[in-house]
Structure 1
Amino acid sequence: MENLYSLFIEFTTQPVSLNTSLNSTVTFTCEATGVRFIYFNVGETPASETININRGFTELGQDTINGTIRRRQLSVHAREINNNSIIYCSAAPGNTRSDNATLTIQGLLDSVVDLNYTFMNGSNVLLTWKAPYTLDNVPITGYYIVNGLVDITIPNNNTNFILSTTNPDPCILNNVSVSPINDVGIGLSNNISFYYETVYTQ
């Protein structure tokens, strides 16, 4: 009988894989026709079981659309333990399952790479770097630069910045760090040191 039911089941909306930031909340949606009941699974365990509830999975109530479509959503708190979770929904009767979806969670970013500096003149230094890897749809929102006792936040994803100073001392070593920022916070830093060059004028 279950095989007979499965002939009439159609998933009109299946859960899709999502990338998100650590500690955010995301929602998976499932819709099907020819069924009485749909529910979500996390791995091989129903999302409504205590083990998944404690991990931050909340299965919402089932809705009926136009009298024929069963719809249910799954809200997930993107905790580290939930990274790479496999999520799908099942339909009953018929024990038919949707395609798998994967929840991938981006935490704090790794450090920038290829951090370098170029002297523009005696008081200006151009910092350049390459952005670290981040998941699609989880953007880098800026960079945090520490130049001695001065903290600078760049609120964009530019990968260069000009440090300017007045009458720099060529005998003092300048220590600069650059860290990427995303919605989770400030990532790992990369550091570079240099002495300002003395510019002689005629």
Structure 2
Amino acid sequence: MTESTFRRYTNLASVIHILQNSCLTLLSPETWDDQNDSFFMSEYKRLKNVKTLLAICIADREETYHHWQVFSRGSDGVCIEFDREKLMAAFNAADGVSHRHVDYELIAKATALKDVDLEILPFTKRWPYGDESEYRAIYVNRDEEKPVFAVPIKLETIKGITLSPWLAPALVDPVKKTLKSLPGCNDLRIYRSTLIDNKQWQELSGRVAPPLHTP
């Protein structure tokens, strides 16, 4: 069953920018950690002979430790939850933007291909990255160099904001208060992730059946 939610793992500064400007910002892939991915993007840009290629990466799955650790590690990490259909509509309305799920391929299968479709390069990664379940949007401009590209979104596209599981509990309320004080954000659902410290999960230990005594 397809989830109705996309998730963007980022940091507080990025979230504040999104809320203040009602937009998502696509950036250059040149600094991505996965150099294979970055290389494919640079080759796509070169072979298409375009001036600008920018992108944004989104998770199409439930909250995971992997996503927090890799993309939003630290106390200022944030996960923004988007309504899937509304976000896709925003991408569709933005000129120059295309978007789809990323395919994850084994090297053996990829190297066996004789003719590679150029259009798959921005949406193909190695199999070990499959846990990301990434949905990606790219922006292409053939004639103009741009460092960023903003995709306008309505604030109602945001279903909720999850604060880092590493955020100190004493700081949760001040952060929530600050985000809710931004124009149009008072009703936002904001809470701290309990991924690494969940009391309900820990209470399972209190229901452990006592061991049987053997004579």
Specify the TM-score bucket, using the shorter chain as the normaliser.
under 0.3
Structure holding more helix per residue? 2
Structure holding more strand per residue? 1
Larger RCO (CA within 8 A; separation ≥ 6): 2
